[in-house]
Structure 1
Amino acid sequence: MAQETVHKAPIAPTTPARALLSLILPALAVGVVAGLLYLAVSAIAERLEHVLWHTVPRALGIGDYSVLWMFVVLTATGVAVGLVVWKVPGHAGPDPATMSLNAPTLPPLVLPGLLLAAALMLAGGPSLGPENPIIAVNVGLAVWLGTRFVARIPGEAWAALAEAATIGALFGTPVAAALVMSEALAERQMQGRLWDNVFAPLAAGAAGAMTTTLVAHPTFDLGLPPVGRPDWADLLAVLVIAPAGALLGMAGVHAFPYAHGLFQRLRHPMLMLPAGGLVLGALGALGGHLTLFKGLDEVTMLARDPDGWSAGQFALMTVVKLAALIVAASCGFRGGRIFPAVFIGTALGLCAHALVSGVQPAVGVSAGVLGMLLAITRQGWVSLFTAAALVTSPTILALLCIASLPAWLLVTGLPQMQLRADGSAIR
């Protein structure tokens, strides 16, 4: 009787401990520098924000967030960033509509202008976060310096360390960095074992996270009432809210290339960015000052009083913030989309709570954020992690894992909120 040949999948080779140990010091150095750079840019932006939105209007005898002042500051921010994009060497990097978390390695000449444009944006109020430009700057610095001083480590490895370090610093935990890196490795041919590949990035992410934690004590916990033992009502809520968030996010994704095309017709950054600032001023006047800025501080304000606004007010903030994200990302402001998406998902979840009192605020918020982030980022692990991190309740994870399935089916294979150089959406 002929024996059947059994073909077994080859076992991925392991990396010697000595090789991994040699990466620890470079990873820790990148993590600390990335965390300090993020903190420095954030501190400068916060001080400038206080001057623009509090010191100056009070000195002029007008309200901090009056309608007129929103138009003035946001339009002026567009002018300032437009000048940077137009005149500063490197033009603040490529079109931000073409950028994702996986940043390209930019030449050193570009990095100062990109940092300046990001700081001005964060202070001025457009609805974007710091993640994309900060990651791009840290990657550029790490590759530039690392390949010169430690040539045995290739540029791709330095880029991975910088990306993981910055994500760890942004979220205050290396878990987010490990999840992003494992998802990135799954998209390409991975050499060796998974944990061998994420060992050094995890060290960099841990160093970045500890740097921001020790210096600034960041937290994603919104302080919402914890979720107890889940019941059928909670399951039904996440199965409705998460797909609703995904559908709303996809509406924004489909609108993105059209908004980008409209601003591109202006052809010059000194026209595109001031025009975008003017539109953002109008949206801020419509949605209120909570719909300005990257959204994390404003999310905390919403969570302090989840019953403090009506369902209509939450719905208005949800739609206005989504429109502001689309405008800011398409007219040329340098920034990321994760933090504003967290605000949109939070407002959507609290809108569901206001409509149906049986929906627990924590359940509504986490499900809304999950669906919105899946649509905006297509990063499944980051979406789950962020949604769960907002609520200090281990029981929410099972609900979110279930809710992610229908939400993912609504977004996978469809256009993303990232464009090619020709303006077409990436799938």
Structure 2
Amino acid sequence: MSVQIRELLQLLAYLLRWVLITLPVGIAVGSACALFLWSLDQATQLRFAHPWLLAGLPLAGFAIGLLYQSFGQSVEAGNNLIVDEIHQPGGGVPLRMAPLILVSTVVTHLFGGSAGREGTAVQMGGSLASGMARLLPGLEPHDVRRLLMAGVAAGFGGVFGTPVAGAIFAMEVLSMGRMTYAAFFPCLVGAIASDQVCALWGVGHTHYRVASLLSADPARHVAPFDLRILLLTTLAGAAFGLTSLFFAELVHGLQALFRKFVRSALFRPVMGGLIVIAMTWAIGRRDYLGLGVTSPDPNAVTIVSCFQSGGATTWSWLWKSLFTAVTLSSGFKGGEVTPLFFIGAALGNTLAGLFGVPVDLFAALGFVAVFAGATNTPIACTVMAIELFGGEYTLYYATACLMAYLFSGHTGIYLSQRIGTPKVTAGNWTPGASLREVRAIRKSPAAPSPPAEDHDGDATRPASQN
């Protein structure tokens, strides 16, 4: 009995310690997310009111390139730097990452670049958490790792209003097919604190409703099982996964092309800005600029419109993929996730028309499943769907996210993500290799040795950060 009491006291001390450590991080990150979301909304509204701002996108790109060349070379890797730092804490994440990514993302959106919010929130969370770790004496490397993960969870949970998904995402995104629970409590505390602080600042989130299959009977709160819809969800999930693979490879491939043909990092976003302007002129629509959540034009394709019949064109998902890939691969700042929501919802809208199934349901499935495939986080995305759309369709959410995860292959938007458990045994890479190494292996027959693993089950950082 004395041993059990001692263990209980140790548990209580552990919980209290991490509440005291993580709450300040969650509060700081939540406040930063609130400022970011407010600034992003102001920039978006200003761009809507002044469409000519798009003409300044190349100049804005040059300014962002100059800003990072002058002050941000050590944080240029963005989310990948944070993932590497979590795998093996080293020099920490510089605190200047937070203001740099906030300012540059708002500038990107102000002038019409197609980007998202998640990358900015995650980088602010990781940066602020790393700064907190440097202030706290006596933290072990595994403590720093958990605090960084809590910062990521706080950024994700605060910016999307999905704290549970944020906590799971911070654990699941590190290693494909493997997740440990050592940091679950700090991540959950940080994400909840961030989400609530955002709400206290008066920052809200877009609401979606998926009601097509719900029973009119108020006593029934679960969507009915429909074998046909489940089979079509499985098929759509595979399509969502292949779209995730296409998007990730498109971004990485265009990034390599920009680096090959535009040697100066200052002029890559200038070229990207010119291409975005040219594409906008060519298609005669501005639907694929910025976040794409809403638009003052009632006929525009947006994430919200994709939940309605006729709310997207057949190729809206492809256009958003191209606009976002050019924007981000050329050097503009922001995240990939909100554009992935757009891509998935638009593709779901198109597939619903082909299959003759509810548009709102398949838009919701695409919304989370394309994201799941691109980040290899099917559990976090299933939970996100429940938090955003309600739990009635959990079976369909989980099916679509799992199929997208499988069909996206061993690729993703975060090249520092490791392979914990391969999706299939084919391939000459080994568990523990990063997606960056997997891409190199595809071009070379030589396979690297798996990185060593630490006591938390995380692979150590590879020698190359490129």
CA contact (8 A) 1:418 1:425 kept: no
Q: Measure, in 2, the Cα distance between the counterparts of 1:383 and 1:114.
A: 24
Q: Measure, in 1, the Cα distance between the counterparts of 2:171 and 2:247.
A: 27
SS in 2 for 1:325: helix
CA contact (8 A) 2:114 2:323 kept: yes
CA contact (8 A) 1:243 1:410 kept: yes
CA contact (8 A) 1:91 1:113 kept: no
Q: CA 1:189/1:53 → structure 2, altered by over 3 Å: closer, same or farther?
A: closer
Q: Which residue of 2 aligns with 1:159?
A: 148
Q: Which residue of 1 aligns with 2:187?
A: 201
Q: Which amino acid aligns with 1:113?
A: L
Q: Which amino acid aligns with 1:283?
A: M
Aligned sequence identity (%)? 21
Q: Which residue of 1 aligns with 2:16?
A: 21
Q: Which residue of 1 aligns with 2:68?
A: 85
Q: Measure, in 1, the Cα distance between the counterparts of 2:437 and 2:60.
A: 24
Q: Which of residues 229, 233, 238 is equivalent to 1:234?
A: 229
SS in 2 for 1:112: helix
Task: State how 1:11-410 maps to structure 2 within 5 Å.
Answer: 16-54=11-49, 57=50, 64=51, 69=52, 71-87=54-70, 89-91=71-73, 93-96=75-78, 99=80, 102=83, 104=85, 105-152=92-139, 154-183=143-172, 194=181, 197-228=183-214, 229-265=224-260, 266-285=262-281, 286=283, 288-297=285-294, 299-303=302-306, 306-309=308-311, 314-356=313-355, 358-392=356-390, 394-410=391-407
Describe the superposition over 1:361-395 as per-residue Cα deviations: whole angstroms up to 9, x where unpaired.
12211222343113311111222233444433x33
TM-score normalised by the chain length of structure 1:
0.81
TM-score normalised by the chain length of structure 2:
0.74
CA contact (8 A) 2:154 2:166 kept: yes
Aligned residue pairs: how many?
391
Q: 1:189 Cα deviation (Å)? A: 9.7
CA contact (8 A) 1:417 1:426 kept: no
SS in 1 for 2:116: coil
RMSD over aligned CA atoms reads 3.1
SS in 1 for 2:321: helix
Q: Which amino acid aligns with 2:153?
A: A
CA contact (8 A) 1:257 1:423 kept: no
Q: CA 1:113/1:391 → structure 2, altered by over 3 Å: closer, same or farther?
A: closer
Structure with the higher helix share, 1 or 2: 1
* Unaligned runs of at least 5 residues, structure 1: 1-12, 58-63
Q: CA 1:183/1:169 → structure 2, altered by over 3 Å: closer, same or farther?
A: same
Q: Which amino acid aligns with 1:331?
A: S
SS in 2 for 1:359: coil
CA contact (8 A) 2:146 2:183 kept: no
SS in 2 for 1:297: coil
Q: Measure, in 2, the Cα distance between the counterparts of 1:110 and 1:203.
A: 23
Q: CA 1:348/1:212 → structure 2, altered by over 3 Å: closer, same or farther?
A: same
